[in-house]
Amino acid sequence: MHTLAQLRSGELAGSRRLKLSADLCEFPEEIYSLVDTLEVLDLSGNQLTDLPGDLHRFSQLKILFASDNQFEHIPEGVGLCRSLTMVGFKHNKIRDVSATCLPPNVRWLILTDNCISQLPGNFGNLSALEKLMLAGNRLTALPNSISRLNTLGLLRISANQFDVFPDQLLELPNLAWLAFSGNPFCPRHESHHNVLTVARGDLEMGDVLGRGASGVISRAYWQSAPAGIDPDVAVKVFHGGVTSDGYPQDELDACLSVAPHPNLVTALAQVTEPGFDALVMKLIPHDYSNLGQPPSLGSCTRDTFTAGQALSRELADCLIKQMTSLVEHLEATQICHGDVYAHNTLINADGHLLFGDFGAASRYHNLTDAQQAGIRKIERRALGYFIEDMEGLVNLGCATIRPC
Protein backbone atom coordinates (compact mmCIF):
# COMPACT_ATOMS: atom_id res chain seq x y z
CA MET A 1 0.00 0.00 0.00
CA HIS A 2 1.25 3.48 -0.88
CA THR A 3 0.32 6.95 0.37
CA LEU A 4 -0.18 10.38 -1.13
CA ALA A 5 2.62 11.61 1.12
CA GLN A 6 5.00 9.25 -0.63
CA LEU A 7 3.88 10.57 -4.02
CA ARG A 8 4.29 14.19 -2.94
CA SER A 9 7.75 13.62 -1.53
CA GLY A 10 8.99 12.03 -4.74
CA GLU A 11 9.66 8.73 -2.98
CA LEU A 12 7.64 6.88 -5.65
CA ALA A 13 9.19 8.63 -8.66
CA GLY A 14 9.49 6.25 -11.60
CA SER A 15 7.23 3.63 -10.01
CA ARG A 16 5.48 1.14 -12.24
CA ARG A 17 2.91 0.08 -9.64
CA LEU A 18 0.73 2.21 -7.37
CA LYS A 19 -1.88 1.14 -4.82
CA LEU A 20 -3.84 3.84 -2.99
CA SER A 21 -6.68 3.16 -0.57
CA ALA A 22 -7.48 6.17 1.62
CA ASP A 23 -11.20 6.94 1.24
CA LEU A 24 -10.38 9.01 -1.82
CA CYS A 25 -13.32 10.86 -3.38
CA GLU A 26 -11.39 12.30 -6.30
CA PHE A 27 -8.54 11.13 -8.50
CA PRO A 28 -5.38 12.59 -6.92
CA GLU A 29 -3.45 14.96 -9.17
CA GLU A 30 -0.22 13.63 -7.66
CA ILE A 31 -0.63 10.41 -9.66
CA TYR A 32 0.22 12.35 -12.82
CA SER A 33 3.82 12.45 -11.62
CA LEU A 34 3.97 8.81 -12.78
CA VAL A 35 2.41 9.44 -16.17
CA ASP A 36 5.40 8.02 -18.10
CA THR A 37 6.08 4.91 -16.01
CA LEU A 38 2.90 3.66 -14.32
CA GLU A 39 1.82 0.17 -15.48
CA VAL A 40 -0.48 -0.98 -12.66
CA LEU A 41 -2.88 1.38 -10.87
CA ASP A 42 -4.96 0.02 -8.00
CA LEU A 43 -7.53 2.45 -6.58
CA SER A 44 -9.71 -0.20 -4.92
CA GLY A 45 -11.30 0.49 -1.56
CA ASN A 46 -12.02 4.19 -1.94
CA GLN A 47 -15.10 6.40 -2.48
CA LEU A 48 -14.49 7.29 -6.12
CA THR A 49 -17.37 7.98 -8.51
CA ASP A 50 -15.41 9.03 -11.59
CA LEU A 51 -11.96 9.07 -13.20
CA PRO A 52 -10.38 11.75 -15.39
CA GLY A 53 -10.98 11.75 -19.11
CA ASP A 54 -7.28 11.88 -19.91
CA LEU A 55 -6.19 8.50 -18.53
CA HIS A 56 -4.67 7.87 -21.95
CA ARG A 57 -1.82 10.15 -20.85
CA PHE A 58 -0.60 7.18 -18.80
CA SER A 59 0.94 5.64 -21.88
CA GLN A 60 2.30 2.55 -20.10
CA LEU A 61 -0.82 1.74 -18.05
CA LYS A 62 -1.78 -1.91 -18.53
CA ILE A 63 -3.84 -2.75 -15.44
CA LEU A 64 -6.50 -0.70 -13.67
CA PHE A 65 -8.28 -1.89 -10.51
CA ALA A 66 -11.11 0.23 -9.13
CA SER A 67 -13.13 -2.26 -7.10
CA ASP A 68 -15.05 -1.42 -3.93
CA ASN A 69 -15.78 2.19 -4.83
CA GLN A 70 -18.96 4.14 -5.61
CA PHE A 71 -18.94 4.10 -9.44
CA GLU A 72 -22.35 4.09 -11.12
CA HIS A 73 -20.80 4.03 -14.59
CA ILE A 74 -17.49 3.08 -16.16
CA PRO A 75 -15.69 6.36 -16.83
CA GLU A 76 -15.27 7.26 -20.50
CA GLY A 77 -11.59 7.95 -19.90
CA VAL A 78 -11.04 4.22 -19.42
CA GLY A 79 -12.17 3.54 -22.97
CA LEU A 80 -9.62 6.00 -24.35
CA CYS A 81 -6.72 4.17 -22.70
CA ARG A 82 -5.61 1.83 -25.48
CA SER A 83 -2.75 0.41 -23.42
CA LEU A 84 -5.11 -1.14 -20.83
CA THR A 85 -5.39 -4.93 -21.01
CA MET A 86 -6.94 -5.64 -17.59
CA VAL A 87 -9.76 -3.65 -15.98
CA GLY A 88 -11.52 -4.38 -12.69
CA PHE A 89 -14.62 -2.60 -11.33
CA LYS A 90 -15.86 -5.30 -8.96
CA HIS A 91 -18.37 -4.43 -6.23
CA ASN A 92 -19.46 -0.96 -7.28
CA LYS A 93 -22.89 0.41 -8.23
CA ILE A 94 -22.40 0.38 -11.99
CA ARG A 95 -25.62 0.49 -13.97
CA ASP A 96 -24.44 1.83 -17.31
CA VAL A 97 -21.85 0.37 -19.65
CA SER A 98 -21.64 2.72 -22.62
CA ALA A 99 -20.53 1.84 -26.13
CA THR A 100 -17.27 3.75 -25.67
CA CYS A 101 -16.19 3.22 -22.05
CA LEU A 102 -14.21 0.00 -22.50
CA PRO A 103 -10.60 -0.08 -23.75
CA PRO A 104 -10.37 -1.73 -27.18
CA ASN A 105 -7.46 -4.03 -26.23
CA VAL A 106 -8.77 -5.34 -22.90
CA ARG A 107 -8.07 -9.04 -22.28
CA TRP A 108 -9.47 -9.39 -18.76
CA LEU A 109 -12.61 -7.52 -17.68
CA ILE A 110 -14.03 -7.78 -14.15
CA LEU A 111 -17.50 -6.31 -13.56
CA THR A 112 -18.62 -8.69 -10.79
CA ASP A 113 -21.26 -7.59 -8.26
CA ASN A 114 -22.72 -4.46 -9.81
CA CYS A 115 -26.16 -3.44 -11.10
CA ILE A 116 -25.61 -3.89 -14.85
CA SER A 117 -28.77 -4.80 -16.74
CA GLN A 118 -27.46 -4.45 -20.30
CA LEU A 119 -24.22 -4.55 -22.24
CA PRO A 120 -23.71 -2.32 -25.30
CA GLY A 121 -24.52 -3.74 -28.71
CA ASN A 122 -20.93 -3.31 -29.88
CA PHE A 123 -19.53 -5.42 -27.01
CA GLY A 124 -18.35 -7.98 -29.54
CA ASN A 125 -15.80 -5.46 -30.83
CA LEU A 126 -13.55 -6.32 -27.86
CA SER A 127 -11.66 -8.76 -30.05
CA ALA A 128 -8.83 -9.38 -27.53
CA LEU A 129 -11.13 -10.31 -24.62
CA GLU A 130 -10.17 -13.63 -22.97
CA LYS A 131 -11.69 -13.47 -19.48
CA LEU A 132 -15.03 -11.84 -18.63
CA MET A 133 -16.44 -11.69 -15.10
CA LEU A 134 -20.12 -10.68 -14.96
CA ALA A 135 -21.50 -12.61 -11.97
CA GLY A 136 -23.83 -10.78 -9.62
CA ASN A 137 -25.48 -8.29 -11.97
CA ARG A 138 -28.97 -7.84 -13.44
CA LEU A 139 -28.40 -9.04 -16.98
CA THR A 140 -31.37 -10.62 -18.77
CA ALA A 141 -29.67 -11.13 -22.14
CA LEU A 142 -26.35 -10.80 -23.92
CA PRO A 143 -25.85 -8.76 -27.10
CA ASN A 144 -25.77 -10.79 -30.32
CA SER A 145 -22.31 -9.40 -31.01
CA ILE A 146 -20.86 -11.49 -28.17
CA SER A 147 -20.71 -14.37 -30.65
CA ARG A 148 -17.77 -12.52 -32.24
CA LEU A 149 -15.59 -12.87 -29.13
CA ASN A 150 -13.43 -15.59 -30.68
CA THR A 151 -10.71 -15.31 -28.02
CA LEU A 152 -13.01 -15.54 -24.98
CA GLY A 153 -11.92 -18.50 -22.83
CA LEU A 154 -13.54 -17.88 -19.43
CA LEU A 155 -16.97 -16.40 -18.71
CA ARG A 156 -18.95 -15.95 -15.49
CA ILE A 157 -22.64 -15.01 -15.86
CA SER A 158 -23.91 -16.61 -12.64
CA ALA A 159 -26.28 -14.76 -10.30
CA ASN A 160 -27.96 -12.65 -12.99
CA GLN A 161 -31.54 -12.53 -14.35
CA PHE A 162 -31.38 -14.71 -17.48
CA ASP A 163 -34.74 -16.41 -18.15
CA VAL A 164 -33.19 -18.56 -20.88
CA PHE A 165 -29.71 -19.90 -21.47
CA PRO A 166 -27.88 -17.52 -23.87
CA ASP A 167 -27.30 -19.71 -26.93
CA GLN A 168 -24.72 -17.29 -28.39
CA LEU A 169 -22.23 -18.78 -25.96
CA LEU A 170 -22.38 -22.14 -27.71
CA GLU A 171 -20.89 -20.52 -30.84
CA LEU A 172 -17.74 -19.26 -29.12
CA PRO A 173 -14.79 -21.31 -30.44
CA ASN A 174 -12.48 -20.97 -27.41
CA LEU A 175 -14.86 -20.83 -24.45
CA ALA A 176 -13.70 -23.48 -21.95
CA TRP A 177 -14.61 -22.28 -18.44
CA LEU A 178 -18.26 -21.24 -18.03
CA ALA A 179 -20.34 -20.55 -14.89
CA PHE A 180 -24.06 -19.79 -15.21
CA SER A 181 -25.76 -20.97 -12.00
CA GLY A 182 -28.12 -18.77 -9.99
CA ASN A 183 -30.22 -17.57 -12.93
CA PRO A 184 -34.00 -18.00 -13.34
CA PHE A 185 -33.50 -20.60 -16.11
CA CYS A 186 -31.45 -22.83 -13.78
CA PRO A 187 -33.02 -25.78 -11.91
CA ARG A 188 -34.06 -25.43 -8.30
CA HIS A 189 -31.75 -26.71 -5.60
CA GLU A 190 -32.16 -30.33 -4.62
CA SER A 191 -33.28 -31.19 -1.09
CA HIS A 192 -30.30 -33.55 -0.53
CA HIS A 193 -32.19 -35.56 2.06
CA ASN A 194 -29.72 -38.38 1.46
CA VAL A 195 -26.87 -36.24 2.82
CA LEU A 196 -26.13 -36.27 6.53
CA THR A 197 -26.91 -33.05 8.38
CA VAL A 198 -24.64 -31.97 11.22
CA ALA A 199 -25.30 -29.46 13.97
CA ARG A 200 -22.83 -26.61 14.08
CA GLY A 201 -22.13 -27.31 17.73
CA ASP A 202 -21.09 -30.87 16.87
CA LEU A 203 -18.04 -29.56 15.00
CA GLU A 204 -15.03 -28.47 16.98
CA MET A 205 -13.33 -26.05 14.60
CA GLY A 206 -9.55 -25.99 14.32
CA ASP A 207 -6.86 -24.37 12.21
CA VAL A 208 -7.69 -22.64 8.93
CA LEU A 209 -6.51 -24.73 5.98
CA GLY A 210 -7.37 -22.37 3.15
CA ARG A 211 -9.44 -19.42 2.01
CA GLY A 212 -11.32 -18.99 -1.25
CA ALA A 213 -13.78 -16.64 -2.88
CA SER A 214 -16.78 -18.47 -1.43
CA GLY A 215 -15.60 -19.44 2.03
CA VAL A 216 -13.01 -20.61 4.53
CA ILE A 217 -11.86 -24.23 4.91
CA SER A 218 -10.79 -25.32 8.38
CA ARG A 219 -9.75 -28.50 10.10
CA ALA A 220 -12.47 -29.73 12.46
CA TYR A 221 -13.31 -32.60 14.80
CA TRP A 222 -16.73 -34.20 14.24
CA GLN A 223 -17.65 -35.12 17.79
CA SER A 224 -20.41 -37.61 16.95
CA ALA A 225 -19.16 -38.86 13.60
CA PRO A 226 -20.95 -42.05 12.47
CA ALA A 227 -19.10 -45.33 12.77
CA GLY A 228 -16.62 -45.83 9.97
CA ILE A 229 -16.06 -42.11 9.36
CA ASP A 230 -12.85 -40.49 10.59
CA PRO A 231 -13.90 -37.66 12.96
CA ASP A 232 -10.97 -35.54 11.80
CA VAL A 233 -12.56 -33.65 8.89
CA ALA A 234 -12.37 -30.47 6.86
CA VAL A 235 -15.23 -27.96 6.99
CA LYS A 236 -15.91 -25.26 4.40
CA VAL A 237 -17.98 -22.43 5.84
CA PHE A 238 -19.57 -20.42 3.05
CA HIS A 239 -19.71 -16.64 2.95
CA GLY A 240 -22.94 -14.84 2.26
CA GLY A 241 -23.47 -12.79 -0.88
CA VAL A 242 -22.14 -13.19 -4.39
CA THR A 243 -18.61 -14.22 -5.34
CA SER A 244 -16.71 -13.92 -8.61
CA ASP A 245 -18.22 -17.30 -9.59
CA GLY A 246 -21.77 -16.86 -8.28
CA TYR A 247 -23.74 -17.72 -5.16
CA PRO A 248 -22.12 -20.00 -2.54
CA GLN A 249 -25.47 -21.81 -2.15
CA ASP A 250 -25.22 -22.94 -5.78
CA GLU A 251 -21.73 -24.28 -5.09
CA LEU A 252 -23.05 -26.30 -2.15
CA ASP A 253 -25.98 -27.62 -4.19
CA ALA A 254 -23.74 -28.71 -7.08
CA CYS A 255 -21.20 -30.34 -4.80
CA LEU A 256 -23.87 -32.38 -3.01
CA SER A 257 -25.50 -33.35 -6.32
CA VAL A 258 -22.43 -35.17 -7.63
CA ALA A 259 -22.18 -38.88 -7.02
CA PRO A 260 -18.95 -40.10 -5.36
CA HIS A 261 -15.91 -40.63 -7.56
CA PRO A 262 -12.38 -41.81 -6.66
CA ASN A 263 -10.92 -38.49 -7.84
CA LEU A 264 -13.36 -36.16 -6.09
CA VAL A 265 -12.86 -34.72 -2.63
CA THR A 266 -15.41 -36.66 -0.57
CA ALA A 267 -18.37 -34.72 0.83
CA LEU A 268 -19.57 -36.25 4.10
CA ALA A 269 -22.29 -33.97 5.46
CA GLN A 270 -23.75 -30.47 5.46
CA VAL A 271 -24.61 -27.82 8.03
CA THR A 272 -27.69 -25.74 7.31
CA GLU A 273 -28.32 -23.32 10.14
CA PRO A 274 -29.25 -19.63 9.91
CA GLY A 275 -26.15 -17.70 8.93
CA PHE A 276 -24.02 -20.84 8.80
CA ASP A 277 -24.00 -22.93 5.61
CA ALA A 278 -21.13 -25.39 5.59
CA LEU A 279 -19.87 -28.52 3.88
CA VAL A 280 -18.14 -31.28 5.86
CA MET A 281 -15.52 -33.11 3.82
CA LYS A 282 -13.02 -35.89 4.23
CA LEU A 283 -9.69 -34.45 5.31
CA ILE A 284 -7.15 -34.55 2.50
CA PRO A 285 -3.89 -36.29 3.52
CA HIS A 286 -0.80 -34.13 3.93
CA ASP A 287 1.04 -35.77 1.04
CA TYR A 288 -1.18 -34.17 -1.60
CA SER A 289 0.00 -30.96 -3.26
CA ASN A 290 -1.19 -28.65 -6.01
CA LEU A 291 -0.52 -29.82 -9.53
CA GLY A 292 -0.58 -26.31 -11.01
CA GLN A 293 -0.74 -22.65 -10.12
CA PRO A 294 -3.53 -20.17 -11.01
CA PRO A 295 -3.33 -18.14 -14.22
CA SER A 296 -1.09 -15.10 -14.09
CA LEU A 297 -1.86 -11.63 -15.40
CA GLY A 298 0.09 -12.63 -18.49
CA SER A 299 -1.40 -16.07 -19.09
CA CYS A 300 -4.91 -14.73 -18.36
CA THR A 301 -6.97 -17.94 -18.64
CA ARG A 302 -4.25 -20.59 -18.69
CA ASP A 303 -2.66 -22.27 -15.69
CA THR A 304 0.92 -21.56 -14.73
CA PHE A 305 3.46 -24.03 -13.35
CA THR A 306 6.48 -23.75 -11.11
CA ALA A 307 9.89 -23.28 -12.68
CA GLY A 308 11.46 -26.59 -13.59
CA GLN A 309 8.25 -28.56 -13.05
CA ALA A 310 8.18 -31.69 -15.18
CA LEU A 311 6.22 -34.95 -15.48
CA SER A 312 7.24 -38.39 -16.62
CA ARG A 313 5.33 -39.83 -19.56
CA GLU A 314 3.80 -42.35 -17.19
CA LEU A 315 2.60 -39.74 -14.70
CA ALA A 316 1.18 -37.48 -17.41
CA ASP A 317 -0.82 -40.38 -18.88
CA CYS A 318 -2.00 -41.33 -15.40
CA LEU A 319 -3.25 -37.81 -14.64
CA ILE A 320 -4.92 -37.43 -18.04
CA LYS A 321 -6.73 -40.74 -17.57
CA GLN A 322 -8.04 -39.73 -14.14
CA MET A 323 -9.17 -36.25 -15.19
CA THR A 324 -10.91 -37.64 -18.28
CA SER A 325 -12.77 -40.15 -16.10
CA LEU A 326 -13.81 -37.36 -13.77
CA VAL A 327 -15.12 -35.10 -16.55
CA GLU A 328 -17.09 -38.06 -17.94
CA HIS A 329 -18.53 -38.59 -14.46
CA LEU A 330 -19.62 -34.95 -14.21
CA GLU A 331 -21.21 -35.17 -17.66
CA ALA A 332 -23.24 -38.19 -16.51
CA THR A 333 -24.44 -36.14 -13.53
CA GLN A 334 -25.22 -33.20 -15.85
CA ILE A 335 -23.02 -30.78 -13.95
CA CYS A 336 -20.68 -28.31 -15.62
CA HIS A 337 -17.75 -27.81 -13.25
CA GLY A 338 -16.68 -24.57 -14.94
CA ASP A 339 -13.17 -24.65 -13.47
CA VAL A 340 -11.37 -27.72 -14.82
CA TYR A 341 -7.85 -26.55 -14.10
CA ALA A 342 -4.58 -28.00 -12.84
CA HIS A 343 -4.56 -25.41 -10.04
CA ASN A 344 -7.76 -26.99 -8.65
CA THR A 345 -6.08 -30.40 -8.76
CA LEU A 346 -4.12 -32.14 -6.00
CA ILE A 347 -1.80 -35.12 -6.52
CA ASN A 348 0.27 -37.36 -4.28
CA ALA A 349 3.53 -39.21 -4.86
CA ASP A 350 1.66 -42.20 -6.31
CA GLY A 351 0.04 -40.01 -8.94
CA HIS A 352 -3.45 -40.14 -7.45
CA LEU A 353 -5.49 -37.08 -8.39
CA LEU A 354 -8.01 -35.30 -6.17
CA PHE A 355 -10.27 -32.60 -7.54
CA GLY A 356 -12.74 -30.20 -5.96
CA ASP A 357 -13.73 -26.51 -5.74
CA PHE A 358 -17.27 -26.41 -7.13
CA GLY A 359 -17.52 -22.62 -6.89
CA ALA A 360 -18.17 -22.23 -10.62
CA ALA A 361 -20.28 -25.38 -11.04
CA SER A 362 -23.68 -25.27 -12.74
CA ARG A 363 -26.39 -27.93 -13.04
CA TYR A 364 -28.00 -28.17 -16.48
CA HIS A 365 -30.26 -31.23 -16.67
CA ASN A 366 -33.29 -29.02 -17.43
CA LEU A 367 -31.82 -27.53 -20.63
CA THR A 368 -32.48 -28.72 -24.18
CA ASP A 369 -30.45 -31.59 -25.64
CA ALA A 370 -28.65 -29.16 -27.96
CA GLN A 371 -27.75 -26.84 -25.09
CA GLN A 372 -26.55 -29.74 -22.96
CA ALA A 373 -24.37 -30.97 -25.80
CA GLY A 374 -22.94 -27.47 -26.21
CA ILE A 375 -22.12 -27.20 -22.51
CA ARG A 376 -20.39 -30.59 -22.58
CA LYS A 377 -18.36 -29.39 -25.56
CA ILE A 378 -17.25 -26.32 -23.59
CA GLU A 379 -16.20 -28.46 -20.60
CA ARG A 380 -14.36 -30.86 -22.92
CA ARG A 381 -12.42 -27.90 -24.26
CA ALA A 382 -11.17 -27.25 -20.71
CA LEU A 383 -10.19 -30.91 -20.46
CA GLY A 384 -8.29 -30.49 -23.73
CA TYR A 385 -6.32 -27.59 -22.25
CA PHE A 386 -5.56 -29.69 -19.16
CA ILE A 387 -4.25 -32.47 -21.40
CA GLU A 388 -2.22 -29.94 -23.39
CA ASP A 389 -0.65 -28.65 -20.16
CA MET A 390 0.22 -32.17 -19.00
CA GLU A 391 1.79 -32.97 -22.35
CA GLY A 392 3.83 -29.78 -22.09
CA LEU A 393 5.23 -30.90 -18.74
CA VAL A 394 6.38 -34.30 -19.96
CA ASN A 395 10.06 -34.97 -19.34
CA LEU A 396 11.18 -38.51 -20.08
CA GLY A 397 14.19 -38.08 -17.80
CA CYS A 398 11.92 -37.63 -14.78
CA ALA A 399 11.60 -40.51 -12.30
CA THR A 400 8.65 -42.81 -12.89
CA ILE A 401 5.95 -43.74 -10.39
CA ARG A 402 3.88 -46.81 -9.64
CA PRO A 403 1.21 -47.37 -12.32
CA CYS A 404 -2.30 -46.13 -11.55
Topology (CATH level 3) of domain 291-392? Transferase(Phosphotransferase); domain 1 (1.10.510)
Residue 403 pLDDT greater than 50, yes or no: no
pLDDT of residue 400: 44
With cut-offs at 50, 70 and 90, classify the pLDDT of residue 182. Answer: very high
Round to whole Å and give the CA distance between 82 and 97: 17
Domain 196-282 fold: Phosphorylase Kinase; domain 1 (3.30.200)
Which residues in the chain are classed under CATH 3.30.200.20? 196-282
Q: 24: which DSSP letter?
A: -
Q: Binning pLDDT at 50, 70 and 90, where does residue 404 land?
A: low
Collapse the DSSP code of 156 into the 3-class scheme (helix H, G, I; strand E, B; otherwise coil) and give the result. strand
Q: How far apart are the first and last CA of the chain?
A: 48
The boundaries of every CATH 1.10.510.10 domain in the chain are 291-392
Q: Is residue 397 over pLDDT 70? A: no
- Taking only the tens place, the pLDDT of each residue in 82-97 is 999 999 999 999 998 9
Ligand-binding site membership of 93 (annotated): no
pLDDT score of 401 = 45
- Sheet of strand 131-133, all strands in order from the earlier edge strand to the far edge: 17-19, 40-42, 63-65, 86-88, 108-110, 131-133, 154-156, 177-179
Q: What is the DSSP string of 183-251?
A: STTSPPPP--TTSEE--GGGEEEEEEEEE-SSEEEEEEEETTPPTTS-SEEEEEEEPSS--SSS-HHHH
